């Protein structure tokens, strides 16, 4: 018979899984193709960062500064005490303690969320700081789980995980360009000042994304079996999204959010499975 804390931990896991499934069907499916032993841990990270994102992006009728401050305090309090009455944070602290995830990664993520509340434009340093906290650090949290506390493997693969997180975030910036600019009043790309992003600047951003993608693929080939297929699906999903974005000019991105049709998502899954399982990328 489960002890009461064990029951609450199981409920907490379910909450993180429901959040993942509700907010991202693509990531939810990719997680299902990870080793079963680590799926709940990846759900715990996605559920946590999704909660942080929602505070700054969606809860417009509430005091976001206060909510984010409480979120931050509860995070580190729960890690210390190994419990939170917030099921999502409770599930996250369990993973953080189990895999000894560096608290600097979490602080960097929260700092990026604080940027979203306070900053409307970025220079080169704050742009890189934002990407580090919001994407690279989240990727490193996941990598810690994939490597199962093998520090040598983690250190070897960290640069590739950083590149993949960087590519994903820059693509998100382009995909969400309409909402960020017109609804939230944010411009993430650096040193624009009063100048509007144009197609020449977009091409420069795409060069960076190309570099990140090419480098990240080297690391994906070195991932343990427990995670290679799931990560490769996410890689190919974003690669296709990026190809669709690359076809559009900046004016088009201000009018619509680029998506991948469901039939193409199915193709990506089969393609990725063949490459990993049969061709051993």
Of the chain, the percentage scoring pLDDT greater than 90 comes to 75
Q: Which of 47-56, 191-200, 270-279 has the lowest mean pLDDT?
A: 191-200
pLDDT tens digit string along 81-106? 999 999 999 999 999 999 999 999 99
Question: Which of the four pLDDT bands, split at 50, 70 and 90, describes residue 116?
Answer: very high
DSSP string, 112-131: HHHHHHH-SS--HHHHHHHH
Q: What is the reported pLDDT for 200?
A: 87
Q: Which of 2-6, 30-34, 53-57 has the lowest mean pLDDT?
A: 2-6
Indicate if the pLDDT at residue 129 is higher than 80: yes
Q: What is the reported pLDDT for 187?
A: 79
Mean pLDDT for the stretch of residues 56-64: 94
**Angle at the Cα of 61 from the Cα atoms of 129 and 93, rounded to 5 degrees:** 50
Q: Which of 151-160, 180-189, 247-256 has the lowest mean pLDDT?
A: 180-189
Mean pLDDT for the stretch of residues 136-144: 97
Q: Which CATH architecture has domain 4-278?
A: Orthogonal Bundle (1.10)
- Mean pLDDT (the chain) is 92
Cα atoms in the Cβ-side hemisphere of radius 13 Å centred on 52: 28
Q: What is the reported pLDDT for 262?
A: 87
Question: Which of the four pLDDT bands, split at 50, 70 and 90, describes residue 194?
Answer: low
Q: Which of 79-83, 195-199, 247-251 has the highest mean pLDDT?
A: 79-83
Mean pLDDT for the stretch of residues 189-209: 80
C-alpha 121/C-alpha 140 separation (Å) is 26
Indicate if the pLDDT at residue 4 is higher than 80: no
What are the CA-CA distances from residue 225 to residues 34, 129, 221, 222 (Å)?
8, 31, 10, 9
CB distance 82 to 34 below 8 Å:
no
Indicate if the pLDDT at residue 1 is higher than 60: no
Mean pLDDT for the stretch of residues 256-278: 90
Higher pLDDT, 197 or 133: 133
C-alpha 2/C-alpha 163 separation (Å) is 42
Q: Which of 17-26, 76-85, 95-104 has the lowest mean pLDDT?
A: 17-26
pLDDT tens digit string along 206-243? 999 999 999 999 999 999 999 999 999 999 999 999 99
Indicate if the pLDDT at residue 142 is higher than 80: yes
């Amino acid at each position: 018979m489960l002890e009461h804390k064990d029951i609450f931990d199981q409920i907490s896991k379910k909450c993180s899984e429901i959040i993942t499934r509700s907010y991202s069907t693509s990531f939810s499916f990719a997680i299902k193709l990870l080793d079963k032993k680590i799926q709940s841990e990846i759900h715990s990270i996605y559920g946590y960062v999704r909660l942080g994102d929602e505070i700054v992006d969606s809860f417009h009728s509430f005091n976001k500064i206060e909510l984010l401050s409480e979120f931050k305090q509860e995070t580190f309090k729960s890690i210390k005490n190994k419990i939170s009455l917030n099921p999502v944070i409770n599930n996250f602290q369990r993973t953080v303690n189990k895999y000894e995830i560096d608290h600097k990664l979490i602080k960097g993520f929260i700092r990026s969320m604080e940027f979203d509340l306070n900053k409307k434009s970025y220079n080169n340093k704050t742009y890189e700081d934002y990407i580090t906290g919001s994407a690279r650090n989240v990727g490193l949290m996941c990598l810690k789980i994939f490597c199962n506390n093998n520090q040598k493997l983690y250190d070897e693969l960290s640069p590739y995980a950083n590149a993949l997180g960087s590519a994903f975030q820059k693509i998100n910036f382009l995909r969400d360009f309409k909402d960020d600019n017109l609804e939230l009043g944010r411009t993430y790309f650096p040193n624009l000042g009063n100048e509007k992003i144009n197609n020449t600047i977009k091409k420069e951003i795409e060069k960076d994304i190309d570099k990140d993608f090419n480098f990240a693929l080297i690391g994906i080939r070195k991932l343990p079996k427990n995670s290679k297929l799931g990560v490769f699906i996410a890689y190919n999903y974003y690669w296709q999204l990026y190809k669709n974005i690359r076809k559009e000019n900046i004016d088009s991105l201000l009018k619509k959010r680029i998506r991948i049709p469901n039939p193409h998502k199915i193709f990506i899954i089969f393609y990725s499975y063949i490459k990993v399982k049969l061709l051993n990328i």
